[in-house]
Structure 1
Amino acid sequence: MRNWLYDLLKRLIRAGFFCYFREIRMEGIAGIPASKPVMLLLNHQNALLDPLLYAAYARARRPYFLTRSDVFKNPLLRSFFRGLRMLPIYRLRDGRETLQRNQEVFALCAELFSRGEHVLLFPEANHNLRRQVRPLSKGFTRILEHALARDPGLDLYLVPAGLNYEQADRFPDRVAFYFGKPFALKEYLGGEGNILMATALKDRVFEELTHLTTHIPPGEDYSRWIGELERQGVDFLNPAAVNQILQGAPGPKLPRRTRHPFWGRAWDLVFRGLNAPFWLPWALWIKPKVWEPEFMGTFRFLYALLAYPVWLFLLFAVLATLGGPGTASPAVILLVLHNLAYVKWRG
């Protein structure tokens, strides 16, 4: 039953992402081992969109995800998240008494690895839209220690991956995942009893993440660098080239994206006018209640995924009542094609 629900949600969400994002890239995803247990380690920017994107495009196996526990408090979303194999992880801000529950989660992850499953988590242990890899927490190494205690011979692989959004809080947007080369956990076992060399492992994952996504080092003037990169019109979906600029190296010349402010704004007005009954509830009532900018994309996408089909159905019903199905069908199809063109080509 759960596999059926997962596959249904995956197809639905993937179709939604196709209509929501201008471009989605998954570079190196084919290299993730299908026959081995895998821990995927990603930088975290855009709240629940980050795991949902991987869930929609995963190839090797159906992954499990460690997700902040507070999102499970909403009963309407709880079943949805569990259907996508999301597991709650508890933080100090959730209450010191809740931290003990993480032992159950760690034990469950160890069991999943013993079955050859894939688990995705965000080692920064928080999300932020800043183009910067933050210090990694010890949580993922503790999970690995639990897994090794259960099975000292565990043949597990780790895959760091960098998430890159063009402009994560805006619509429509572009996104690129860059998956690093898998490496074996056994490379970081040493001493008597094959003890996990946690610090060395954290350092490697951090270093790889800084190459797989844009990373403005903490000591730099973040605002100045962001302004300079945007002035140059860099493609944030090409982190290798952007990081070369940050390091002062002569990187490849990055072509500016052609923008036409007047026509872009005019198209915005047309899009909003044609979709006013769908767009206005978001702009007037839902968007102002989003409490963190990192959740803006998540709530916008989920709203569109649920409300857009309702809007098209209501439009068809009204037009069919006024002019018949022969009038309603072409009108709705043309609107869908227009909206898709807006997402794919709005500069």
Structure 2
Amino acid sequence: MKSLLLFCVRTYINIGLFFYFKKIEVKKLGLIPKDKPVLFLGNHQNALIDPLIMAVSSGRTAYFLTRAQVFKKPLVSKVLKTLKLIPVYRVRDGWQNITQNNEIFSQCVSILNTNQAVTIFPEGSHNLKRTVRPLSKGFTRIVLGVLEENKASKLQLIPVGLNYNDAEAFSDEALVVFGKPIEASKYILEDKNLAIKNLKHDVHQALTKLTTHIDQELYNSTLSKLEDLNVNFLEPEKVNSCIKSNFKVCSTKALNSNNYIKSFFKFLLKVFCVLPYFIWKKVAQPKIKEIEFTATFRFALSITLVPLWIVFVAIILTLLFSVSVAFYFIISTLIIALLAVKL
């Protein structure tokens, strides 16, 4: 029953992402094994959008370590755990809760020792900045914990680069790059501190090649130059090469010639979905405290309120006119949505 629920939720999320994003491109630089334990390690920019995209594109059904704050309500907690989400505690959740992570990490070790998959964002928090921030030690505890229990483990570490054209915008474009698997067994060393250091270094270096990585000290000036050059942030290798060449060798992205047509259909979509749009602009968006959650909340409303609104209007049209009119309304709304998003 849980597997069926998970399948249905994943399918629905996949459909939602299709209607939300103009394009989601997936690149796999190496084979993601089906019969070995896998630890996905992604950079973290776009709050809950990151794990959703990874969940539907990796090819593996994985457990996800998620901030414990979203598990506060019992019913929500039960649903999230059914969907294979595991709470992880941070300092802001209180020092008294940090010790609970010992049990969480042990759970992850057990999962990986049964050849399943786990996803974690080793930066420890999300941030829209186009840089790979220093990695926390949490994921190293899981990796070394697996190796301590089973030195023969075939655990694969797969770095994942998540890239967005404009994470705050609608509609956005995304690129997810699954890097080449790293054999965890290479970190079986007598010196545990050295193993942790090497592990963090290797994963960080791998991530910086899979997404745009701007040095923190020169971040604002570098980003400004890249934006002025109109680089394509969905081509991280080229963007990183541009930075390394001191902006001498840079490629630009083509301008979208459909901007006016796209704007027209976005306006029509707002008209057809006037109530959900009103709730978004006047109720939900003003309450967002962290800008990284903009896309998350917009997407959540898109896959909940919008379908309910379409069904509600269709029922009203059926009662006032006919089933045919309601059907044409549904089809028209879907077509307008696709044109507003995909153009």
Specify if TM > 0.5: yes
1:24 and 1:217 map into 2 onto residues whose CA distance is 26
| Distance (whole Å) between structure 1 residues aligned to residue 176 and residue 237 of structure 2 | 12
Matches within 5 A, 1:134-283: 134-191=133-190, 197-220=195-218, 222-248=219-245, 251=249, 253-258=251-256, 263-283=261-281
1:275-322 deviations in Å (ceiling 9; x for gaps): 212211111111111111111111111111111111111111121122
**Secondary structure, in 3 states, of the residue corresponding to 2:169?**
coil
Q: Residue 252 of structure 1: CA displacement?
A: 5.7
Structure 1 residues 39, 149: closer, same or farther in 2, change over 3 A?
A: same
Task: Label 1:230 to 1:259 Cα distance change in 2 as closer, same or farther (>3 A).
Answer: farther
Query: Partner of 1:81 in structure 2?
Result: 80
Q: Report if aligned partners of 2:47, 2:296 keep a CA contact under 8 Å in 1.
A: yes
Q: Give structure 1 stretches of 5+ with no counterpart.
A: none
CA distance in 1, matches of 2:155, 2:296: 31
Paired positions, count: 342
Contact 1:23–1:344 at 8 Å: present in 2 too? yes
282, 285, 289: which is aligned to 1:284? Answer: 282
Partner of 1:42: 42
How far apart, in 1, do the equivalents of 2:233 and 2:304 lie?
29
CA displacement at 1:83 relative to structure 2: 2.7
**1:148 Cα deviation after fit:** 2.2
Equivalent-residue separation in structure 2 for 1:57 and 1:304 (angstroms): 20
Letter matched to residue 276 of structure 1: V
Q: CA deviation at 1:181?
A: 0.5
Q: 1:215 to 1:21 in 2, by over 3 A?
A: same
TM-score (norm 2): 0.94
Q: Which moved more, 1:83-92 or 1:14-23?
A: 83-92
- Pair 27,261 (structure 1): closer, same or farther in 2 beyond 3 Å: closer
| 1:305 equivalent in structure 2 | 303
The percent of aligned pairs where both chains have the same amino acid is: 35
Q: Output one character per residue of 1:186-210: Cα deviation in whole Å (capped at 9) or x when no partner.
A: 1122238x98711011101111111
Alignment of 1:110-129 (within 5 A): 110-129=109-128
Indicate if the aligned counterparts of 1:55 and 1:84 stay in contact, CA closer than 8 A: no
Q: Which runs of 5+ in 2 are unaligned?
A: none
Q: Distance in 2 between matches of 1:268 and 1:326?
A: 25
Q: Is the 8 A contact 1:233 1:257 kept in 2?
A: no
Q: 1:246 to 1:169 in 2, by over 3 A?
A: same
Q: 2:150 is matched by which residue type in structure 1?
A: D
Over the aligned positions, Cα root-mean-square deviation in angstroms equals 1.9
**Equivalents in 2 of 1:322, 1:231: separation in Å?**
53
TM-score (normalised: structure 1): 0.93
Contact residue 46 and residue 293 of structure 2 kept, 8 A: yes
Q: 1:75 to 1:22 in 2, by over 3 A?
A: farther
Partner of 1:15: 15
Partner of 2:217, secondary structure, is coil
Q: Which amino acid aligns with 1:223?
A: N
Q: List aligned pairs for 1:56-135, cutoff 5 A.
A: 56-59=56-59, 61-75=60-74, 77-135=76-134
